[in-house]
Copies of this chain bind each other. A is one copy, B any other.
Amino acid sequence: MSLVKPVEYADANPAVKAVYDDIMATRKVAAVNNFWKVLAHDPDTLARTWEEVKAVMAAGSLDALTKEMIYVAVSATNGCEYCTYSHTASARKQGMSDAMLAEVLAVAALANKTNRLANGYRVPVDQAFIPQF
């Protein structure tokens, strides 16, 4: 059970309804998922977070699928159950196969491993890796 009461569409104020409508139109879905219903008790954070998701996750220099896979790797690293389920679902919608998920998580797992080897041994950064401006 969430720590604040989720806001259903029927009970939402106009500002919240406008965000819900935009989420459903943008994603071509018939309902919003729990994350947004819970955020909706704080309409400013709801609107700001949705605008950020829409802008940051849209195709740009990187395509939308690559972005969703980065999201999955970060969420697995942080142990966020909700985001792991929801962004794996989003990535699958964008075309991620089981084989691609396997590679996303193999890279994330390897990075988590070598991050600790580098930090644990306090490896000094090679000069060659430091940009010169």
A→B interface (CB under 8 Å): 1-6, 33-35, 38-39, 41-42, 44-45, 48-49, 52-53, 55-57, 60-62, 66-67, 69-89, 97-126, 128-133
Contacts and interface: CB of A to CB of B under 8 A. Distances in A.
A127 to B, nearest CB: 10
Contact of A70 (B44, B49, B69, B130): B69
Contact of A129 (B33, B38, B109): B33
Contacts of A6: 133
Given A48-B55, A56-B110, A108-B120, 14 more contacts: A34-B124, A35-B114, A35-B118, A48-B52, A61-B97, A62-B103, A70-B108, A74-B115, A78-B115, A81-B118, A83-B111, A84-B122, A109-B114, A112-B113
